[in-house]
Amino acid sequence: MKKIHIKTWGCQMNEYDSSIISNLFLLNKKKYCLTDTPFKADVLILNTCSIREKAKEKLFHQLGRWKKIKEKNPKIIIAVGGCVATQEGKEIYNRANYVDIIFGTQTIHRLPNMINEIQKNKTFLIDISFPTEEKFDSLLEPRVSKLSSYVSIMEGCNKYCSFCIVPYTRGVEVSRKCDDVLFEIVSLAKKGIKEIHLLGQNVNAYKGETAYGGICSFSELIELIAEIKEIKRIRFTTSHPVEFTRKIINVYEKVPKLVNFLHLPVQSGSNRILKLMKRGHTISDYKKIISELLLIRPKMQISSDFIVGFPGETKKDFYKTIKLIEEINFDMSFSFIYSPRPGTPASIMKDNETSYSEKKIRLDLLQKRIRKQALNWTKKMMNSIQIILVEGVSKKNISELYGKTENNRTAYFQGLSTMIGKFVKIKITNTFINSVRGIFINYVN
């Protein structure tokens, strides 16, 4: 039996892809098993993201550590996949010729066959092509170990923001067939899943083919998922302001199962910077979406993405971002200093010579502002009644259970193990920045 070790870096899509890889190998339990220990593995798989800074350097540092393992056991197979693999291609092998396989974001389903080929012929293999629909067709019956599950509904992006590598590493937008998505969710529901988290690089651009030759929009897909009785909560990541249509906004009125929490990246509070980023929307466009959502869902909480120090960003531009953060009252954020991704238009833009230390100061100011607002949002939950999907027993206190609120806070409370997997109401008695503590009130029907 071959032992497989999978290391994952990146977004929810990378995590989802790694779960697909796990499924592929566990399909043949007589031949493969998973291990958390790289030293015990026969196959080492690195699934990488290229969005964040120094992703390439991080990759080669990890490969350097695995090289030492392979020197002790030359039979070990090393495979590199994900966005960095698609971006760098054979350059990875040129720098680390002990790597056996390089696979792309759309060829993970071919990995078991590639490993079999390496075991037979011992020759380097690379496949970073873009057979997206073939990948979707190869998705396996989901394995369930939790109460909440990611479901990929589309891949790729057509927006080509000037800073973003995704269209080059994930390809253009390709949507899964509507019936395939629904079949997977029904299968998950039968296995005990209560919460679905829809995934895509630009999830609200979904246009899935129906069995009758029509096209299902993202808003229509949400309504169809909501009809599945066992699914009690629906989330999605990541959406784009340009395609956050009126129909999607209206769905929040029609579908109570959609949570009161939305991640909608804006990137900057300056229209000048948004234009350089080629985002395709203005600050007023963004504010209009939020204001219309709040008319329908007054308790809606918003999180976003922010890039600090984009080429040409001045202090004035930055403080416009801070102003927007305060106006929208964002709850959470993913924020980082801009770093050029090779091959993107922004990578050749001239910076205004803002020092890196100044960019770090700006990022710190932004993150402190967000943390303050997040803490205020959590404090507002004090004495409120929250609906919790109970996920399990607390690792820190076996007399307590834990679960997630709609706004992504981890909630702790004393309860019985029979509550696990059910929705309960708790009254919040204590609050922290990312978690709350409460007392059990009753079950949710």
Task: Write the pLDDT tens digit of every residue in 310-358.
Answer: 999 999 999 999 999 999 999 999 999 998 888 899 999 988 778 999 9
Confidence (pLDDT) at 379: 97
Q: What is the mean pLDDT of residues 127-153?
A: 73
Mean pLDDT of the chain: 92
Confidence (pLDDT) at 142: 53
Backbone angles phi, psi at 300, to 5 degrees: -60, 135
Q: What is the mean pLDDT of residues 214-232?
A: 97
* Higher per-residue pLDDT: 55 or 170: 170
Residue 135: pLDDT band with limits 50, 70, 90: low
pLDDT tens digits along 234-268:
999 999 999 999 999 999 999 999 999 999 999 99
Confidence (pLDDT) at 343: 85
DSSP 139: P
* Higher per-residue pLDDT: 308 or 166: 308
On the question of a cis peptide bond just before residue 107, with omega within 30 degrees of 0, the verdict is no
Confidence (pLDDT) at 252: 97
Residue 52 has pLDDT above 80, yes or no: no
Containing 390, the helix (H) or strand (E) segment is strand 385-393
pLDDT tens digits along 390-423:
999 999 899 999 999 999 999 999 999 999 999 9
The dihedral sign for the CA sequence 321, 322, 323, 324? positive
- Among residues 236, 238, 237, 304, which one has the least CA distance to residue 274? 304
126 DSSP β-pair partners: 102
In sequence order, what are the residues at sequence separation of 6 or more whose Cβ sits closer than 8 angstroms to the Cβ of residue 197? 12, 148, 149, 150, 151, 235, 236, 237
Buried b (16+ CB within 10 A) or exposed e, 409-423: bbbbbebeeebbbbb
Residue 7 has pLDDT above 60, yes or no: yes
Confidence (pLDDT) at 140: 57
Q: Percent of the chain having pLDDT more than 90?
A: 74
Residue 139: pLDDT band with limits 50, 70, 90: low
| Interatomic CA distance for residues 157 and 154, integer angstroms | 9
pTM: 0.85
| Interatomic CA distance for residues 392 and 422, integer angstroms | 10
